[in-house]
Amino acid sequence: TRPSTGDELESACDAGGAADTRIMVYVRARPLSKKEKEAGSRSCVRIVNKRDVYLTEFALETDYLRLKRVRGRHFAFDASFPDSTSQQEVYNTSTAQLVEGVLQGRNGSVFCYGATGAGKTHTMLGTLQSPGVMVLALKDLFAKIKQRSKDGDHVVRLSYLEVYNETVRDLLSPGRPLVLREDSKQGIVAAGLTQYQAYSADEVIHLLQRGNLNRTTEPTRVNETSSRSHAILQVVAEYKLQQETGVTVRVGKLSLIDLAGSERALATDQRTLRSVEGASINRSLLALSSCINALCEGKKHIPFRNSKLTQLLKDSLGGSCRTAMIANISLSDASFGETQNTLHWADRAKEIRTKSGETNEEMSISETSEDQTKQIAEMQVANQ
């Protein structure tokens, strides 16, 4: 598949109606860590022209005791970010357009995929000094709302949740696990999930940092945020426009997802102890890969019901939504296998298509015909 440009995506949407668009796929490499450099790791990834990724496998030539290049593979993505890329640049390329879409009543989602330590949480959440996509998206959203404040009223609601061991938890208000319900109008909902009404980006940054501390950590790895939990931030922007004919409401939803480490659970240390967790993590990620496969093959039935994660991501992958995937990789040759695996999946994900052109706009009630009322009901279902 040829990578498409942002402009093409925009024009597909501007044409109106539900244009099919494949999901945008990006790769981000993180720099070699100090530890990796000290251990003599070398880079097995080369990124050229912000697009092409060359993965090289080295092997030790026993006769000469030197490394020899044995195999190489080339991939191309919508954009590939070398390790020098700033958080802002990643945001601008991958997510800014989706944020604009949310204010126009379109759904969008961005998810980070990759092995533990590849830079998913750095990309999504980041640090206070170097905020990631979640924070930059909210900053941008509030700035855009401020510019448009005289046109109507906006309400922004946030929820932040975790899927860990096939259990869904509210990260903003930790407590008992949440039950997923199929709502006839809203689709899959997590019953009792806190919807936090937000007024500024600054307040949100602290909220997310606090929420992240509530992510389940692994007892075996003290001080390390879990590699086995999936974190999902949902931002709903509702826009009410007063017109002479009545009130127009636009609702757009943005989902930002920091997935659990994609490495095989069996490769971890505490095999027996972790087997239950491992199985469940595998279940969610396996279900995700089955859904991706089924979507790529154009199957009618997509097995979203097979895990909590895929139920929650249903409208991000199969519904009316613009979706971006950021595949995080390490440059280090010590992670060659994981990097190859991640690039393979990213390459595959380029084939997924979603319906991106639909907007969730509700016309003034006084003006609507029966037909339109039906359409609105359908849009509401699509929106959830």
Residues annotated within a binding site for ATP: 114-121
Region binding ligand ADP by CB under 6 A among candidate stretches 19-27, 118-126, 139-147, 165-173 = 118-126
**Is residue 215 part of the contact set for ligand ADP (CB under 6 A)?**
no
CB nearer Mg ion, residue 122 or residue 154? 122
CB nearer ligand ADP, residue 227 or residue 280? 227
**Is residue 228 part of the contact set for ligand ADP (CB under 6 A)?**
no
Backbone angles phi, psi at 124, to 5 degrees: -80, -55
**Is residue 114 part of the contact set for ligand ADP (CB under 6 A)?**
yes
Partner whose binding site includes residue 117, from Mg ion, ligand ADP, none (CB under 5 to 8 Å by kind): ligand ADP
Residues at the binding site are 114-121
With 0-12 / 13-18 / 19 or more C-beta atoms within 10 angstroms meaning exposed / middle / buried, residue 209 is middle
**Is residue 82 part of the contact set for ligand ADP (CB under 6 A)?**
no
**Is residue 328 part of the contact set for ligand ADP (CB under 6 A)?**
yes
Q: State in Å, rounded, how far the first CA of the chain is from the last one.
A: 30
Which residues would be at the binding site for Mg ion (CB under 5 A)? Answer: 120-121
- Closest residue to Mg ion, judged by C-beta, is 121
**Is residue 108 part of the contact set for ligand ADP (CB under 6 A)?**
no
**Is residue 131 part of the contact set for ligand ADP (CB under 6 A)?**
no
Partner whose binding site includes residue 126, from ligand ADP, Mg ion, none (CB under 5 to 8 Å by kind): none
Instruction: Give min distance, CB of 169 to ligand ADP, in A.
Output: 18
Instruction: Give min distance, CB of 296 to Mg ion, in A.
Output: 26
Residues 54, 218: Cα–Cα separation, whole Å: 34
Binding ligand ADP by CB under 6 A: which of 22, 30, 154, 230? 30
- Mutual orientation of helices 201-213 and 133-147 as an angle, nearest 10°? 160
Distances in Å between the Cα of 178 and the Cα atoms of 93, 162, 167, 314, 369 are: 34, 10, 7, 17, 38
Instruction: Give min distance, CB of 18 to ligand ADP, in A.
Output: 34
**Is residue 230 part of the contact set for ligand ADP (CB under 6 A)?**
no
**Is residue 227 part of the contact set for ligand ADP (CB under 6 A)?**
yes
Region binding ligand ADP by CB under 6 A among candidate stretches 94-102, 120-128, 278-286, 295-303 = 120-128
- Given the rule CB under 6 A, which residues bind ligand ADP? 30-31, 114, 116-122, 227, 261, 328
